[in-house]
Structure 1
Amino acid sequence: MDALRSKPFDPRKAAFWEDKEPVPFLFFARVMDMISNESGRLVMTEILCNAFRTVIATTPQDLLPVVYLSANKIAPAHDGIELGIGDASIIKALADAFGRKEDQIKSQMKALGDLGLVAKASRSTQRLMFKHPPLTCAKVLETFRSIAKESGKDSQEKKRSRMKSLLVAATDCEPQYLVRLLQAKLRVGLAEATVLVALAQAAVYAEQPPVSSSMLPGRLEEAAEIMKQTYSVLPIFEKIVPILLTDGISKLPEVCAFTVGVPVGPMLAKPTKGVSEILDKFQNTVFTCEYKYDGERAQIHYFEDGRVEVYSRNAERNTGKFPDVTSSISGYKKPEVSSFVMDCEIVAYDKESNKILPFQVLSTRARKGVILSDIKVKVLIFAFDLLYLNGRVLLQEQLVRRRELLYQSFIEKPGEFQFATATNTKELEEIQSFLNDAINHSCEGLIVKTLEKDATYEPAKRSNNWLKLKKDYMDTIGDSLDLVPIGAFHGRGKRVGVYGAFLLACYDPDKEEYQSICKIGTGFTEAVLEERSNTLRKHVIDTPRPYYRYGETLAVDVWFDPVEVWEVKAADLSISPVHKAAYGELETSKGISLRFPRLLRMREDKKPEQATSSDQVVDLYRAQKINHRSTKNEDDSS
């Protein structure tokens, strides 16, 4: 396996199987082992790229299952296919497979903090009566998909039987990664972005004739951008991988295009500190202001045959959560509209008082299987963008045109379906007044967007052409932050038995690491503190992950896997010699920290990799400094 790191790299020397033979699962497991011992993104990318090159050179038909396993997926997110198994089922399967008692496994799990390590240790201590055929990547993915499809009577028993069949055939470090894949937690610090870049680079290296050494760096960079852009529009490896193998990466944008029924990554806004900052950034640009609603971002897909699908900001299929939306949406379109994809916000709504309700009310809905007649929380759809209409993709159209088509194609119905409230003024006083109106209408603030220039829809990007202005920017740092708890400190006094405080981190997508930004112990009710403590205890790890960056003097008592996202508010940001958020970006050997942070709520709609980025933290710090200077100047002139 050391050949995966050799330069120059020869794919065939890294393979321990013959050409066209199925790729052994042991190859994948050892690749993950190598990556788990690294913390640098470039090294991780190189190892995974070389693994993909090895598969392409020997068994290209197995590239798809290897990519899926590397991405820790069994199917595209919008298919809604889940394994549907918990740790209890995995523990039973382990006990059956390795001839152990469940209590022994649970006890060892407490000691090791990782069920994958327990599985590896269980295999190493068990004597095999006879040798099973080696596991292959294709067989593992196929079995996972079979597990996900099991339903009805005895489905859990059938799932455990399939898990057991994999575990009894596993050797070496295979049980560790089988279990982690079953838990959907590879725990090696491998983000989806790295998988995409590694796959793109492997495709470039496989091109014939080979790319010249002088052209290679630029070609690799170009390929990575093509891959990320393609995946943001069509996140389906079944479509992407065959094109890579037959036509090369340059063909991806042409063949893998926007498709109804496949959600694109939503365009996101950058936070801003105040109205004056917006005017500075958009001073020579026509822009529009829209209410920022406190609801759930949704992408509604309407097919030619009348079918409707609703997707979340994470591309998860939310159709079963909103049967009221799917049953009513056709009533708001005009007769000439045959198909569309709409970007909107779904909010909880009280029809009697004509008032938008907080997000927490909407979050009480079940994730799926909601029955129309049982719905207690009514919703209102606020439409603000149109991405597709009657067979025509609109992503490259300017917002002014997309909005025009939205208004022309749908009819509002107060209390059920409305267009996002918007104004196109450039006057500071009018924007401030519009912000106040938004707050009075139970909104979070405003989204400000370029309208006529640089106003295309950019899937999965946090763009400078969309800015958000929240209602509480005036007395704090301007925007809340979405942060990940990576550690905790034992409670004392009244907090004995629960965690007294938590170490929170932002996420650096370039380095793919979690960087500590603050210690938080306020904003918790006793019930919330107990709930968070009990939940996070299930994710305790024995040592911090190699992709955690934190101050050595923090004396953290307990470490967690990154599994939750918390929305946090703070008084301001400051340069810190202890915390590692955006380390070295503003001052040498110093990071950025939050002062007086407090918990607002859980962000169940976000994954840890979607937490506030280190770049956003830098932007917030700089915006705060700009605002402080402008306030001081106003005070000096008064």
Structure 2
Amino acid sequence: MYSITKLIVACRIVRNVHASVRFNVLCHFLGTPRVSLTNTIMAQRSITSFFKVSPPKCEVKQEKPVVKQEADEKEDEEVRDNSPISNGKAQVTSKRPRLESSDSDTSIRKKSPTPTSGKKSKVKRQRIESSDSDSTCPQEPPASPDPPKSPPSPESEEKTVIKLEKSSPKKYASPKSKKKQPLKEPNPVKEVSPKRSKKQSPVEKKNKSPKQEVLFKKEKEEEKESKTEVKELVPEVDYNPAKANYHPVDDACWRAGAPVPYLALARTLELIEATSARLKIIDILSNYFRSVIVLTPDDLLPSVYLCLNQLAPAYESLELGIAETYLMKAVGQCTGRTVPQLRASVARAGDLGLVAQSARSTQRTMFPAPPLSARSVLAALRDIARMTGHASVDKKIKKIQSLYIACRHSEARYLIRSLEGKLRIGLAEQSVLAALGAAAARTPPGGDCLDAAKGKTPDEFKAIVDEHVLTIKSVYCECPNYERVVPALLQEGLRGLAGRCRLQPGVPLKPMLAHPTKQLAHIFDRFENEQFTCEWKYDGERAQLHVPELEAGGGPDLSKAAIFSRNQENNTTKYPDVLGRLTSLLRPNVTSCVLDCEAVAYDVVNKQILPFQVLSTRKRKDASEADIKVQVCVFLFDLLFLNGEPLVRRPLLERRQLLREHFNEVPGEWQQATSRDCSSLEDVQQFLEEAVRGSCEGLMVKALAGPHAHYDIARRSHNWLKLKKDYLDGLGDTLDVVVVGAYRGRGKRAGVFGGFLLACYEPEHEQYQSLCKIGTGFSDEDLQNLTKQLQEHVIEAPRPYYSFDPQHSADVWLAAARVWEVRAADLSLSPAHRAAIGRVHPDKGISLRFPRFVRVRDDKTAEQATSAAQIADMYLAQDQVRNSTTAKTNMDEFY
């Protein structure tokens, strides 16, 4: 029998739930000693946790319900406890003894759902514990009839409840029972949304802590926001500021507080480019400005700068300086095209912006770049302009590529044009100021009114708009800095604008200009019954001298003194010798000032004024005082600011008196303009001859007293007239024209340009309109020098903004960059040229008769050339035309 026991232990097979009990009973009948299975097989607890009950299929005929299972357990326990034991041997009963189950087993039984059908279901395997054991596993004492049950732990109770809730089927109560049943508490497991939180009683509100009150307020705000319907935005591609009855919020393509998309600005510029009517252009741009003012006021300044294609005020001299070749290289590297291919495309299209847009539209990227915004584009352009030093070109190209890759739709066109410095959409600065004034009038900044035109007649609202536009233009003339004007407009409105943006040293003004006249009789026609004065017109460079006051007060700050040109460019480094002798100019009672002067080349030995060509030989920037050979004498003729007070609204008579009282004269260095108050034609004639003998161009005739004697900033006003010495030659004034084309010379002029196509500038449409062909007034040396200078401006095809007749097509087309001064016998109507077309005649332009070259104007840009309106006025001012027409001309105009 011992061998049987040994065999059983070696096999390590325990197949039944009551394996340990049967084994001990078998050993008792055979009389063999009990063998402990602890060391031979594994620990009893390990066996208990490892084996599961798997009753024989023959015994499990029908699964008992959960309710009867507990009763069966009690009967088995009673049978086992009451079974007779004789001679220490347990009597074998017909039923198998049932073991007590642990708490986990009970939970498993309760988890099983109650069977609702007669079908058999699989019985899950249960964990058991042995009721009998050896010395290592002591035998369990006989259970009492009512054995005490240990209370279940809280954790097991929670688990049991949750499992029962999940496994129990849903029961639907009748409506009557619903009324009787109390409200169930919400499930603590579920999170209650703060937006649907229940209202608290007043007592609870009083007991709230400050943090709870803040949270409660936030919940209320979020609840209100959730209730308000969020309207869908207009797609950026469909943004249309030209829409009738435009709404600044509903028709915008961005939300309040979000950055203005660059595509919205590009869409606005695209509509402006397709529009020729100036009033419609102002209306389109003002609608865009209205949306920016209401939704994102911080982006109004970047939008204004991008519309004007400027990066900063003119006196900061922040320019991009990107050549067309570098732009082609950047576009080619992004689109896989070569520079020659792009040049051919530009020659066909005539615009690099259009070529870049078409190339970008056919390109697809795997990971699109973030969309551009107006502020990010302006910041990137400023970064490009400030890049200097070694390898700056490569850095600029990489920066341009990052912008170009992010472009969508028409953004590429206007980005490349901005980088070129030639937006060319027919949008002048005066139109931008007018649009800004119209937007501020219709949608006042900082208010709740979105459309101030409601409730007003068209005439009443037009008067309000005109007032706003005039105020903004006047303020900008006195303070030409958008970084001061735009924030002041947004914060103070129109009423506080003039108080915050005033003339001050350091911010140059746009100077007042004069209208030309060719006859002495015109002077007395203009200044009839008015007092006027005549000054010598010096042949030099306009200079605006600024001397600020010390921050601590008490005197002028000469270290921050600056000189600006008529274009508001900073020429301080060009005239270090002039600034070095400021102490001899200012008297002790001067703390700050702004002077309007003329810098003229001067022969100190012979005490004689030199021609302008001599002055142009001076170095333009970073000049060293020791290397200067051409001396300069500064002639003072007006005082605009003195000791913290602007003087532009005072008459010239008072300004001239203050100028003579507060500033010294030093011969050859600082001199006041020679002037005379004339009252007759003979006095003017005599004074003109003196000016010509003094190496001057002629006379400046100015209103001395009265309502027309103030300083008209940024205006070409009839309150100032210029009378040149060559007025008897036919044309009362020379013209500043732009060279747009050249013709190859023949015969003696072979190898150089022999003729040129000249044009005037039309600011309203930003066009260059052909004026005449010129081939006289040049020496052989002039042609050689001019040909070399113009070679760097050669382009392959005429620009789209060149207006000319095809029969005058040039052999070589030039970029509009060089300005020449020319003189002619008179002006006449021409069907072959386009200058001022539509102003005098609907189908004919104006041309110059017998034009001849005078000089190159390096001090003027192409945009500052003689405008089409000025040419029309000069044509109408001719005697033969005046006698045959009564056409009226504009007296004053902003330039």
Q: Quick one: distance in 1 between partners of 2:811 and 2:256?
A: 50
Determine helix, strand or coil for the equivalent of 1:157.
helix
Determine helix, strand or coil for the equivalent of 1:484.
strand
Please state how far the C-alpha of 1:192 moved relative to its aligned partner: 1.3
TM (norm. structure 1) is: 0.91
- Of structures 1 and 2, the one with the larger relative CO (CA 8 A, separation 6+) is 1
Aligned match of 1:297: 542
Is contact 2:425–2:765 with CA below 8 Å preserved after alignment?
A: no
Aligned match of 2:855: 601
Q: Quick one: distance in 1 between partners of 2:285 and 2:690?
A: 51
Q: Report which stretch shifted further, 41-50 or 565-574.
A: 41-50
Q: Quick one: distance in 1 between partners of 2:757 and 2:391?
A: 42
Match of 1:90 among 304, 318, 327: 327
Aligned match of 2:601: 348
Aligned match of 1:210: 452
Sort the Cα spacing of 1:603 and 1:356 in 2 relative to 1 into closer, same or farther, 3 A: same
1:487-509 deviations in whole A, cap 9, x for unaligned?
55566666667655444333444
Match of 2:776 among 522, 528, 534: 522
Match of 1:621 among 875, 880, 884: 875
Q: Quick one: distance in 1 between partners of 2:816 and 2:272?
A: 17
Is contact 2:794–2:813 with CA below 8 Å preserved after alignment?
A: no
**1:50 pairs with 2:295:** no
**1:193 pairs with 2:430:** yes
Alignment of 1:503-582 (within 5 A): 503-509=757-763, 513-524=767-778, 525-531=782-788, 533-538=790-795, 541-542=797-798, 544-545=800-801, 550=804, 554=808, 562-582=816-836
Determine helix, strand or coil for the equivalent of 1:134.
coil
Please state how far the C-alpha of 1:76 moved relative to its aligned partner: 0.5
Q: Report which stretch shifted further, 414-423 or 253-262.
A: 253-262
Is contact 1:505–1:517 with CA below 8 Å preserved after alignment?
A: yes
Is contact 1:498–1:533 with CA below 8 Å preserved after alignment?
A: no
Q: Which amino acid aligns with 2:735?
A: L
Alignment of 1:355-394 (within 5 A): 355-394=608-647
Aligned match of 1:60: 297
Sort the Cα spacing of 1:561 and 1:195 in 2 relative to 1 into closer, same or farther, 3 A: farther
Q: Quick one: distance in 1 between partners of 2:277 and 2:372?
A: 30
Aligned match of 2:566: 313
Sort the Cα spacing of 1:34 and 1:446 in 2 relative to 1 into closer, same or farther, 3 A: same
Q: Which amino acid aligns with 1:93?
A: A
**1:170 pairs with 2:423:** no
Is contact 2:351–2:799 with CA below 8 Å preserved after alignment?
A: no
Q: Which amino acid aligns with 2:726?
A: D
Q: Quick one: distance in 2 between partners of 1:114 and 1:244?
A: 36
Please state how far the C-alpha of 1:331 moved relative to its aligned partner: 2.1
Q: Quick one: distance in 2 between partners of 1:391 and 1:552?
A: 57
Is contact 1:112–1:542 with CA below 8 Å preserved after alignment?
A: no
1:323-374 deviations in whole A, cap 9, x for unaligned?
1122222321111111100000001122222222221222223332112211
Q: Quick one: distance in 2 between partners of 1:110 and 1:552?
A: 17
Q: Report which stretch shifted further, 210-219 or 181-190.
A: 210-219
Please state how far the C-alpha of 1:92 moved relative to its aligned partner: 3.8
Q: Which amino acid aligns with 1:621?
A: Y
Q: Quick one: distance in 1 between partners of 2:747 and 2:476?
A: 51
Q: Quick one: distance in 2 between partners of 1:237 and 1:184?
A: 19
Match of 1:288 among 518, 533, 539: 533
Q: Which amino acid aligns with 1:163?
A: I
Q: Quick one: distance in 1 between partners of 2:739 and 2:276?
A: 19
Q: Which amino acid aligns with 1:185?
A: K
Aligned match of 1:248: 493
Please state how far the C-alpha of 1:571 moved relative to its aligned partner: 0.8
1:405-438 deviations in whole A, cap 9, x for unaligned?
1111111111111111111122322322221221
Is contact 2:794–2:812 with CA below 8 Å preserved after alignment?
A: no
Alignment of 1:390-405 (within 5 A): 390-405=643-658
Please state how far the C-alpha of 1:33 moved relative to its aligned partner: 2.3
Sort the Cα spacing of 1:119 and 1:628 in 2 relative to 1 into closer, same or farther, 3 A: closer
Is contact 1:541–1:561 with CA below 8 Å preserved after alignment?
A: no
Q: Quick one: distance in 2 between partners of 1:512 and 1:114?
A: 15
Q: Quick one: distance in 2 between partners of 1:122 and 1:495?
A: 42
Q: Quick one: distance in 2 between partners of 1:31 and 1:149?
A: 28
Determine helix, strand or coil for the equivalent of 1:190.
coil
Sort the Cα spacing of 1:263 and 1:108 in 2 relative to 1 into closer, same or farther, 3 A: same
Q: Report which stretch shifted further, 339-348 or 217-226.
A: 217-226
Please state how far the C-alpha of 1:552 moved relative to its aligned partner: 6.6
**1:139 pairs with 2:376:** yes
Q: Quick one: distance in 2 between partners of 1:544 and 1:590?
A: 20
Q: Quick one: distance in 1 between partners of 2:868 and 2:582?
A: 39
Please state how far the C-alpha of 1:283 moved relative to its aligned partner: 3.1
Q: Quick one: distance in 2 between partners of 1:564 and 1:14?
A: 44
Determine helix, strand or coil for the equivalent of 1:463.
strand
Aligned match of 1:39: 276
Aligned match of 2:483: 238
Q: Which amino acid aligns with 1:281?
A: R
TM (norm. structure 2) is: 0.66
Sort the Cα spacing of 1:197 and 1:514 in 2 relative to 1 into closer, same or farther, 3 A: farther
**1:482 pairs with 2:702:** no
Please state how far the C-alpha of 1:103 moved relative to its aligned partner: 4.5
Determine helix, strand or coil for the equivalent of 1:504.
strand
Q: Quick one: distance in 2 between partners of 1:213 and 1:341?
A: 44
Give the root-mean-square deviation of aligned CA atoms: 2.7
Q: Report which stretch shifted further, 198-207 or 452-461.
A: 198-207
Aligned match of 1:331: 584
Q: Quick one: distance in 2 between partners of 1:511 and 1:187?
A: 8
Q: Quick one: distance in 1 between partners of 2:344 and 2:828?
A: 43
Larger radius of gyration: 2
Please state how far the C-alpha of 1:401 moved relative to its aligned partner: 0.8
Q: Quick one: distance in 1 between partners of 2:830 and 2:345?
A: 39
Aligned match of 2:87: none
Determine helix, strand or coil for the equivalent of 2:249.
helix
Is contact 2:239–2:267 with CA below 8 Å preserved after alignment?
A: no
Sort the Cα spacing of 1:61 and 1:230 in 2 relative to 1 into closer, same or farther, 3 A: same
Alignment of 1:348-497 (within 5 A): 348-453=601-706, 454-487=708-741
Aligned match of 1:634: none
Match of 1:149 among 386, 406, 420: 386
Q: Quick one: distance in 1 between partners of 2:482 and 2:872?
A: 34
Please state how far the C-alpha of 1:13 moved relative to its aligned partner: 4.7
Q: Report which stretch shifted further, 327-336 or 529-538.
A: 529-538
Is contact 2:756–2:774 with CA below 8 Å preserved after alignment?
A: yes
Determine helix, strand or coil for the equivalent of 1:396.
coil
**1:25 pairs with 2:278:** no
Is contact 1:505–1:518 with CA below 8 Å preserved after alignment?
A: yes
Sort the Cα spacing of 1:175 and 1:498 in 2 relative to 1 into closer, same or farther, 3 A: farther
**1:269 pairs with 2:514:** yes
Q: Quick one: distance in 1 between partners of 2:761 and 2:340?
A: 37
Determine helix, strand or coil for the equivalent of 1:163.
helix
Q: Quick one: distance in 1 between partners of 2:255 and 2:812?
A: 46
Aligned match of 2:97: none
Is contact 1:263–1:315 with CA below 8 Å preserved after alignment?
A: yes
Aligned match of 1:635: none
Sort the Cα spacing of 1:432 and 1:585 in 2 relative to 1 into closer, same or farther, 3 A: same
Q: Quick one: distance in 2 between partners of 1:195 and 1:499?
A: 39
* Residues matched between the structures, number: 626
| Unaligned 5+ runs, structure 2 | 1-237, 551-556, 884-895
Determine helix, strand or coil for the equivalent of 2:634.
strand
Q: Report which stretch shifted further, 132-141 or 6-15.
A: 6-15
